[in-house]
Chain A
Amino acid sequence: MRLNTMATREERQFLYSLMVMGGSALAIADQYDTIGDAVEIYQNREMIELNNLGFVGRPLSQDLSSANSSRWVGQLPDGDYVVGLFNREEDTITSGIDFFKELGIKEGAAENVRDLWQHQDLGEMCGKYTTSLAPHSCKILRIRPKGIIRYQAEFASPKGGVTINMANE
């Protein structure tokens, strides 16, 4: 990816986050003399950690006309959920995730929600998270569920004909 071709910091975060959420290799194609401020984006250690852990998320819907295709989710081996909320529109939108209905967290109780671009713990939360997203911006959250760790089948690795049936498709 070449982040120096993006117009704003938000767009750089957007592209980099999409690569991480999709489980892509993180290949830097910027040149040393043009990379500029994009260095900071590439060096987000919390995002790199997801890639190192082999994280691969998936959109809540593969129908590109659905707003759910802009919300990506997945799960790490330690049971934490990673949620990517993207705004690909030209207007500010409200986006979010329901901990119980969309992640399957028991009783919808999160021990901690962490913003991986702000590097900030948002603390314990219940029920759902909602936020306002500026045009072409995103929010990447790492959500630690409370209590017994549950691993959702839709975020595991299927093969040999096993398929994932997503409710929002």
Chain B
Amino acid sequence: MVILVGCSAAFFCSCKKSCGMSYVTEILTDGQFSGAGYTQGFGSPEGELTFAVSSRSASTVKLTIRGRGRAEAQIVANGHHATFAFDDSDRWQEVTAPVRLHAGENLIAIKQMNAAASPLMVDYIEINQ
């Protein structure tokens, strides 16, 4: 993969995958969300977003959350809690923490801890098994 860092306006990279296809794709910048959309409205105490995540085996994995806002967030994974802090409402940030997964299906919930002036927005989570 060749990243053309000289072209700061576009953030393109040229890739040649093992499938033999060459193509040009965009690199995600900290000002844009990934995919088709994102979630918001975590301001209420009941506000929650739940991901169903399956795992082949019980293991501790690195969980990455991409979010935005000035807010503390709580992750609840299989009853275990972890707290994260996002401190920028102008750009998307990634925070990570270890999370214990069961073999089979797991539920990972994200909620906002405090009423923040800049409520939380969530783009995605990543599981590095």
Which residues in A have some Cβ–Cβ distance to B below 8 Å? 54, 60, 73, 76-79, 100-105, 107-109, 123-127, 148-154, 156-168
Contact = CB atoms under 8 A, between A and B. Distances in A.
A160 B48 contact: yes
B54 to A, nearest CB: 4
B39 A162 contact: yes
List 6 tightest A-B contacts by C-beta distance, closest first: A104-B35, A160-B46, A124-B19, A77-B54, A154-B37, A104-B34
B17 A126 contact: yes
B110 to A, nearest CB: 8
A8 B21 CA distance: 36
Contacts of A159: 46-50
B127 A157 contact: no
21 contacts: A107-B1, A107-B15, A126-B17, A149-B126, A151-B125, A151-B127, A152-B36, A152-B123, A153-B37, A153-B124, A153-B125, A154-B35, A158-B48, A159-B49, A160-B44, A161-B41, A161-B43, A162-B41, A163-B39, A164-B37, A164-B39
Contact of A101 (B35, B50, B54, B123): B35
B54 A158 contact: no
B19 to A, nearest CB: 4
Contact of B35 (A79, A103, A127): A103
B93 interface: no
A104 B52 contact: no
B-side interface mostly = strand
B74 interface: no
Given A102-B36, A124-B19, 17 more contacts: A73-B36, A77-B105, A105-B35, A107-B25, A109-B15, A126-B25, A127-B21, A151-B53, A152-B35, A154-B35, A154-B36, A154-B39, A156-B50, A161-B46, A162-B39, A162-B42, A162-B48
Contacts of A60: 36
A106 B31 CA distance: 16
A168 B36 contact: yes
A103 B36 CA distance: 6
B21 A162 contact: no
Contacts of B26: 100-101
A105 to B, nearest CB: 8
A109 B17 CA distance: 8
Contacts of B49: 153, 156-159, 162
Nearest to B52: A77
A79 B127 CA distance: 9
Interface in B81-129: 105, 122-129
A154 B126 CA distance: 14
